[in-house]
Structure 1
Amino acid sequence: MGTDGGGGLREQHKAQRRERILDATRDLLRDGTEATISTERIAERAGVSPATVYNLIGPREKVWEALAGGFVDRLEAELAVLDADDPREVVRATVRLFTGDPVVSRRMVRGWEESGLVFDRSPLGQLRRAMADVRARGVLRADVDADALAFAVGTSCVGALHQWVAGLIDDGRFLERALFGLDVVLAAAAADAHRERLLEPLRTRGTA
């Protein structure tokens, strides 16, 4: 029992130091004074050694992966609180997380592109479950593939994300375009009884 307790405490300390390292990385990104953030700078800001950064996170390329993992952790926690089974809430929550910390989000996405990083877990998983739930409730046709619909929505949202990261659209337009992509997919897959209701957002919003 004592050994297990000691091991648990060690893991807790490791988790705390790891989060301190990620917090330091976010702070450095917000400072925006360096194009490339070195392991040494992260270690200095976190108050740990560079070896600790390497051991707990990995080489610098892994920092982006760790930041992305933390992002998805926060998304999943928010959706769990919301008990989100509505694809619109999944899209809204995802956009809110990106726009809530814009400097870090933009740098994270650029770093993720440059390193070829893909989320091990992604908002797409939450969206798939929400789309399947909408289909199960009879809002969408029973013959549609919920996973394919979620992928189509995700592709549209990623396009809007990259426009936002590039500064081509503001926060409001980012959300608008992400929801527009969702509304197009929902309207196309709507069951007869729900088609008019799901078409209404497209009629009122237009394609701007």
Structure 2
Amino acid sequence: MPGDGEGPREGLRERHKARRRSRIVDAVRELLRESPESAVSVERIAERAGVAPATVYNLIGPRERIWEALAAGFMEELERRLTGSEAGDPHVVVRTTVQLFVGDPVVSRRMVRAWDESGLVLDRSPLTRLAEAMAEARTRGLLRADVDVDALAAVVGAACVGALHQWVAALIDDDRFLTRALFALDVALAAAASDPYREELVAPLRSRDTG
């Protein structure tokens, strides 16, 4: 029957598209690392990726959508790194997110500067994962039962975005970026701590130098 082979064929086409899209995004990263402040044209991207310019338009879109594709790739890598038993720890979520930014500084800085609303880089996967980790902490009794974990994650996210912009502007280094992000998290956790865990969650604030 004609429809019998449509599923496998469609799956193969999608895999080919995904591979070409991945090559295009990788090409953008390579070009940015080589010339951080240079314009990245569709033609240069296509040449580096070994595809036609029309393929870049079809799979990514015009040049301004390149930054969206980079952010999506960032989110996918973050999801991959957060897959595992430790992903339920809010500290792991924040630390992993910061480490992903600083691990590829040239691309990260350009991506954030080019993104019209750069806070959206942190708006999807990290905040969702952070809220989930906080919900798990609430279930374990570390946080009060009445805590709104979505609101708490949003507050931490806003502080982390502020630290991110300082890092992008080279006002703080990698270590200070991480320190400030973790400090914001610890403040939020301490404020939401249940009575049995209050001292445990407040303790990190007493010894940390936030600079």
For residues 185-204 of structure 1, what are the structure 2 equivalents within 5 Å?
185-204=188-207
Number of matched residues? 207
Asked if residue 118 in structure 1 is aligned to residue 128 in structure 2, the reply is: no
In structure 2, the residue matched to 1:61 is 64
Post-superposition shift, 1:7? 2.0
- CA change 1:88–1:140 in 2 (3 A) is same
Post-superposition shift, 1:47? 1.1
CA contact (8 A) 1:65 1:117 kept: no
* Helix, strand or coil at the partner of 1:36: coil
In structure 2, the residue matched to 1:37 is 40
Post-superposition shift, 1:77? 1.0
Q: In 2, Cα distance between the equivalents of 1:141 and 1:203?
A: 21
Bigger mean CA deviation after superposition, 103-112 or 80-89: 80-89
- For each residue in 1:126-171, what CA deviation from the matched residue of structure 2 results, as whole angstroms up to 9, or x when unmatched? 0110111111111111111111110111011111111111101111
Q: In 2, Cα distance between the equivalents of 1:154 and 1:191?
A: 22
Q: In 2, Cα distance between the equivalents of 1:174 and 1:83?
A: 21
For residues 104-183 of structure 1, what are the structure 2 equivalents within 5 Å?
104-113=107-116, 118-119=120-121, 121-183=124-186
Post-superposition shift, 1:33? 5.5
CA contact (8 A) 2:27 2:45 kept: yes
- CA change 1:14–1:117 in 2 (3 A) is farther
Asked if residue 92 in structure 1 is aligned to residue 80 in structure 2, the reply is: no
Asked if residue 26 in structure 1 is aligned to residue 17 in structure 2, the reply is: no
One-letter code aligned to 2:133: A
Asked if residue 205 in structure 1 is aligned to residue 195 in structure 2, the reply is: no
Residue 5 (structure 1) aligned to one of 3, 8, 12: 8
Post-superposition shift, 1:55? 0.2
- For each residue in 1:171-204, what CA deviation from the matched residue of structure 2 results, as whole angstroms up to 9, or x when unmatched? 1111000000001111111111111111111101
TM (norm. structure 1) is: 0.94
**Pairwise CA RMSD of aligned residues?**
1.6
Post-superposition shift, 1:54? 0.2
Post-superposition shift, 1:4? 2.5
Structure 1 unmatched runs, 5+: none
* Helix, strand or coil at the partner of 1:77: helix
